[in-house]
Structure formats: structure tokens, C-alpha cells
Structure 1
Amino acid sequence: MKRQLGIVGTLAALAHLLTPPAQATETIVYAGYGGTYQEAVRKGALEPLAKEMGITIREETISSLADVKVQVEAGSPSMDLSEANVNDCLVGSQQNLWEPLDYSVIDTSGIDPAVVKKDWVGGLTNWSTVLAYSTKKYGDNPPKSWADFWDVEKFPGTRAMWNNPYHNVEIALLADGVAPDKLYPLDLERAFRKLREIKPHITVWYTSGGQATQLLTDGEIDMMPFWNGRVAKVIEDGAPVALTFNQGILAFDCMVVPRGAKNKELAMKVLNRLLAPDMQAAIPQFIAYGPVNSKAYETGKITPEIAETLPSAPQNLKVQVPVNDEWWGDLKNAEKVQEMWTQLVQE
């Protein structure tokens, strides 16, 4: 018996020596936002793309811009490709934190040229801060505008807001009657006067998407500005909630390759596929954030029913207000508004 095992072991060892080693797959590290959104990106794009390209895509959660800066300046960024908010893309560009993008590899046809920059590009999706509300509370007479959100007599009920000035400044000005095409440059004094009107009626200043989702799901909050994709998921899960795209604040994220990324050539190829119409059309099958590539709507993958839920669908685009991230990306503006916001919430 021992002899038989020895022969088998010898043959196995010979077979191993004679078999050429399997080629190691290329690997990149993709940094995303985590949570429900990251799950949708994984299912819709990252997993099929890894299979298609025969590569490994490892995921991590986005670090703060300050953390990324430390990594880049140390010459060892942990990620090869990352989503980021546009403010971080703009500031990071000013600080030379991103690799120039290789547009001989990355096809940007179908993407607004305004968001195709030397070292960042709009993507992976666009999204809106919309007015979400309880259908149980408001029935056939729901709030339809930010002015309605401020009208606590006509629309009594609990309210929440994101503890962040981004989008909330625009929302306050729209509630105060500023025309969408006259929003910028933002009148901060006027906006914060308006925010102080609603502050006594804010039950919760939420700090994360998960917290806000739970507030809506549990019915603790009757209306709130919130991100459309998260609201859509709450609705899909059966909560008595609805949203309006009217006066939604339309924004997009951006894609970057950190300077010094270990696998930047592969990152460029992956980014090219992530921005392609078929991949762009796949993500909305899992979460209601819109493609940044308009050609995604020509693929036939986005049904009219899905399009109704997406901020970049033509019928929804026309009633929303695009955020001016160039204004927010100006460090003087960003610092001033953050100082004013901190004072507001601490009063």
C-alpha cells in the first residue's frame, strides 16, 4: 500500500513538472463607493468585464482625497482606477494627483465633451439629489418642489437633510425662487438665510446614504432631499415612498487613475470598457443611476420603464438643474461655503 502511494505521488510530481504553469492573470485595484451602489457596479460591469478581459479586478472603498494625496506623494497609491466626486477630481488635478488619461485607448464618443479632461473623465454614472417623500403621509397631494419642502404649513411632517452643503445650497436658492439659469455664482448669503428658515424643522441631519435609506424605509422621515438611486431602491423594496425629478440637482462623478498607479496601462483599457455604451447600459439594470454615455440609450438594454427612473433620461434631464462643479471646485468657494455650513449646523 505504501509502495502504491509512493508511485502515485511520484507520477503526480512528474505531471506537475511537465505541465506548464498557468499564466498569472493581470490585476487592477478599483476603488468605488461601497454599499448598494458598488454592488450594482460589480454585477453590472466589473464582474462581466473581468471575465471578458481575463483579468482580476480587486475592489476597495474610496479613500478621502487627503489619503489619496498621501499615497500618491509617497509613490505608492493603493488603487489603479477610482471613481471620485467631481470636486475631488478638480482639486486633485490642481494638485497633480492624477495620471493623464490615454484617449488613444479611451473612447469618449457619446460623452459630453465638457466632462472629458486631460486627467479625469465624467463617469461612471450620473445621479441627482431629488425630493423624496412618503406617499402614506401625503397621498394625492405630494410636495413637488423645494419651495414645498420649505412650506411646513401646507406640508407638515418630519424632514431630514444631508449634513453637507453640496447641493443643499442650490436647493435653498431654488426654494427661495432663484431661476435655475441664474443659480451661479451661488449667492451664499441668500442661501444660508433660507437654510436658517428650515433648520428648526429638520429632525435629522443624515451623514450617510445608509442612514438616510433607513430613515425612509422605517417611515421616520416624511420628506427629504436624497440621492435618486437610493430612493429608487427603497421604493423597489416596497416602502411607501416616491420621488420627483422636478428641480433635481443633477451631478456626475468622475474617473481617475492616480499618479504612480502600478497598473495604469491596464487601468486605461478597463476605463475604456466601463465607459462603453454596453457597459454603461448594464449598470442601470441594478441601480437607478444614469449612464454618462448617451449612446447607452441606443443599445436597447435600457427599457422605457428603466429610463423613467434615470436622471440622464431625456424626459428627466429637462426638469433638473445641473450642478456647476467648476464653482464648487474653486477652493476659495469650497472653503467659504464649508465654514458657513459648519456655523449653521452648530448654531
Structure 2
Amino acid sequence: MKPRSCRLLAGFLLFTSLSGSAAFGEETLVYAGYGGTYQDAVRKAVLEPLAKEMGITIREETISSLADVKVQVEAGSPSMDISEQNVNDCLTGSQQNLWMPLDYSVIKTDGIDPSVVKKDWIAGLTNWSTVMAYNTKKFGDNPPKSWADFFDVKKFPGTRAMWNNPYHNIEIALLADGVTADKLYPLDLDRAFKKLAELKPHITVWYTSGGQATQLLTDGEIELMPFWNGRVSKVIEDGAPVGMTFNQGILAFDCTVVPRGAKNPALAMRVLNRLLAPDLQAAIPKFIPYGPVNSNAFANNLISPELAARLPSSPENLKLQVLVDDAWWGDLKNAEKVQELWTKLVQE
């Protein structure tokens, strides 16, 4: 499911053992992920091979929200040793002292963007992008190429949808209105919502889930929409007449933490180091088309050129996109104001 910044999944404390019954004395680590197809990919690509490599047992847990993690940490007994979170939750959790400091004498950060290497959290296992998806039958050889095109209903008539969430859509509106990537932040909310109000009458559906948006694209009901690159890739693989462009894509990271009070912190640091290493980073996109956060995963033919072309963090695609400023979104005052304005926009 994408974006992972809003993945709220049921079934907290759903466990799976990756190496069968633990042998006597064998170390055990609990990895908390988002569930669904993403966690299936992570399991096959890295967790199962890593358990064998290190001779440990890795159990999986499906998280539902930061609130659930907070309850466990404040009770002094978190069930997980490593957890993936969205960056906003990492920022909030850091402010609430929910995470352990990471041991960077163990965790190597070569190839990882310094902006997502913090004292108590680091980039998640992958990154993802909100891209423009379009119906190839509708637009043929002249597809929309920018967010300005998405907002141009005369030049590119067709059914449109947007995610019913301000995250990334504010950046999209400002880029469509001519704001350059280097001038996006702090976000000009008045300008963004004025632009969004112009487009609102042409939005057929405000989708609320990845599954709904996937069906809209697959069925051809929606011909143009911002959507998450992994989902769009899957629709294309399944044979739907859909294309996408990484131009002006909104690139986002998730993050990884070791909850304060974790039972196996030393093992967590060693496992996290391997999860972020180039070889394992290069393995994940073979199962799901999200990008490695370690740029060294693109070196030495670890990822084929054909696969790299489909990934948001490949060198060629990376330079086309805008990196979301999660520090802005993580500011509670900003988040509350933008959500209030968004609710008003959609409901009026």
C-alpha cells in the first residue's frame, strides 16, 4: 500500500517466523512493517535471506499506527526491535523520546542521503514517489508531462482523480502554478489552495485508498491522476493502457527506528546495517518497484538498467523529481492548518 505515510493497517501483533522454530540459544529479532504486498516483498527480498545469513530468527509484526508503538514504549516493553514508520511519525516519535539513539559505529551510511540520517532514526528500506499516471489510449503520443498539464483541462481534457489528502497535493498545486522546486518550501498555502480550487470542479473522484485508485486506473474510469509509482507500475504490468512520468514526481522517504526499550538493540543495529547495505537494497526492487535509499545499490550492476528506469531513486529519475520536506509536514502547526484547509476544500 502507498503512500506509506498514511498506511494504517489492522492486525497489530501479527507474527510470522522467517526461519521456523528458533534453535536453542538462537537470537531473535522482531521487525515491524506495514503488511500487505510491500511487506511480502521485503520478506522475500531481504528478511528471509538475512535470517539465513546471520543465523537468526526474524519474526514479523504488522503495525497499525504510531499511537500503538507509543503505548508499548511508554509501557516499557515494546514487542518490536526494528520498526518502519513514515517520516512524520519518526519526527513526532523523536520529539516524544520514543526511539533509541542509533549506533553509527555499526550502521554504515555511505550512499544514504544525509537529510535522512538522524540521531535516532534513519531512512526506511525504500523510497517512493507520487507521479502522474495517465491513460495511453486517451492521450496517445502526446501525454501530459508536468503538473501544469494536469491542471490544464482544456489542453488535456479527461476524467481526473486526486488522493483525498493534502500530502504531496500541495506541492503538486504549487508546481502547477509555476513555483520552482527550489522555492517550494515553506509551502504557500494560500497560493496552493487557490490553484486547487480552480481544478476542483474537474475532479471526478477523491480517492481514499490505493486499492480504489488502482481500480479506477485499471478500469479506465479515470484517465489522469497523481498516484504512487509502485501502484502505477503494477497496473502497467497487468496490461492496462496506462503510462506514467517521473517528471516533477514528489519523492518521499520512510524511516526506520529502534523503539526505546527494545529487547535486542545490539542485534537491531547489526540487522539495520545489513538492511541498508547496497546488496540487500538492490534486492527489494526486484519484488516491488520502490527505490533503494542507498544510492550505491545502483553501482556494479546490482540493479539492471531496465529495472532502474522504473525506480524513483535511480540517478536519471532522481534528478527529475522534488524531495518532499517532511520537516515542514512534521511541524504540528503546519499539519493542522493544511488539514483544516483541505477538509474545507473537499467538502464545500
Q: Does 1:149 align with 2:150?
A: yes
Residue by residue, what CA displacement relative to the aligned partner does 1:99-148 show, whole Å, maximum 9, x if unpaired? 11111211111112221100000121111110011112211111111111
> 2:338 matched to which residue of 1?
337
Mapping of 1:32-181 within 5 angstroms?
32-181=33-182
- What is the TM-score with the length of structure 2 in the denominator? 0.90
Partner-residue secondary structure (3-state), 2:250:
strand
Whether the 8 Å contact between 1:281 and 1:299 is mirrored in structure 2 is no
Q: Measure how far apart 1:62 and its partner are.
A: 2.6
Q: Measure how far apart 1:22 and its partner are.
A: 4.6
Q: Measure how far apart 1:186 and its partner are.
A: 0.4
> 1:318 matched to which residue of 2?
319
> 2:265 matched to which residue of 1?
264
Q: Measure how far apart 1:25 and its partner are.
A: 3.1
Residue by residue, what CA displacement relative to the aligned partner does 1:243-278 show, whole Å, maximum 9, x if unpaired? 001110111111111111222222111111100010
Following the alignment from structure 1 to structure 2, what is the Cα–Cα distance between the partners of residues 299 and 123? 22
Whether the 8 Å contact between 1:206 and 1:212 is mirrored in structure 2 is yes
Partner-residue secondary structure (3-state), 2:166:
coil
> 1:252 matched to which residue of 2?
253
Amino acid at match of 1:134: N
Runs of 5+ in structure 1 lacking a partner? 1-20
Following the alignment from structure 1 to structure 2, what is the Cα–Cα distance between the partners of residues 25 and 76? 21
Residue by residue, what CA displacement relative to the aligned partner does 1:262-317 show, whole Å, maximum 9, x if unpaired? 22222111111100010001111112111111111114220110111111111111
Partner-residue secondary structure (3-state), 2:71:
helix
> 1:7 matched to which residue of 2?
none
Following the alignment from structure 1 to structure 2, what is the Cα–Cα distance between the partners of residues 30 and 209? 24
Question: % of aligned pairs identical?
Answer: 82
Following the alignment from structure 1 to structure 2, what is the Cα–Cα distance between the partners of residues 195 and 22? 58
> 1:16 matched to which residue of 2?
none
Following the alignment from structure 2 to structure 1, what is the Cα–Cα distance between the partners of residues 155 and 111? 43
Q: Measure how far apart 1:24 and its partner are.
A: 4.6
Partner-residue secondary structure (3-state), 2:187:
coil
> 1:3 matched to which residue of 2?
none
Q: Measure how far apart 1:89 and its partner are.
A: 0.8
Larger radius of gyration: 1
List structure 1 segments (4+ residues) > 3 angstroms apart after TM superposition: none
> 1:9 matched to which residue of 2?
none
Following the alignment from structure 2 to structure 1, what is the Cα–Cα distance between the partners of residues 232 and 264? 36
Matched residue pairs, number? Answer: 327
Partner-residue secondary structure (3-state), 1:212:
helix
More helix by share: 1
Following the alignment from structure 2 to structure 1, what is the Cα–Cα distance between the partners of residues 151 and 42? 35
Amino acid at match of 1:122: A
Runs of 5+ in structure 2 lacking a partner? 1-21
Whether the 8 Å contact between 1:278 and 1:299 is mirrored in structure 2 is no
> 1:235 matched to which residue of 2?
236
Q: Measure how far apart 1:212 and its partner are.
A: 1.6
Q: Measure how far apart 1:76 and its partner are.
A: 2.4
Partner-residue secondary structure (3-state), 2:225:
strand
- What is the TM-score with the length of structure 1 in the denominator? 0.91
Amino acid at match of 1:345: V
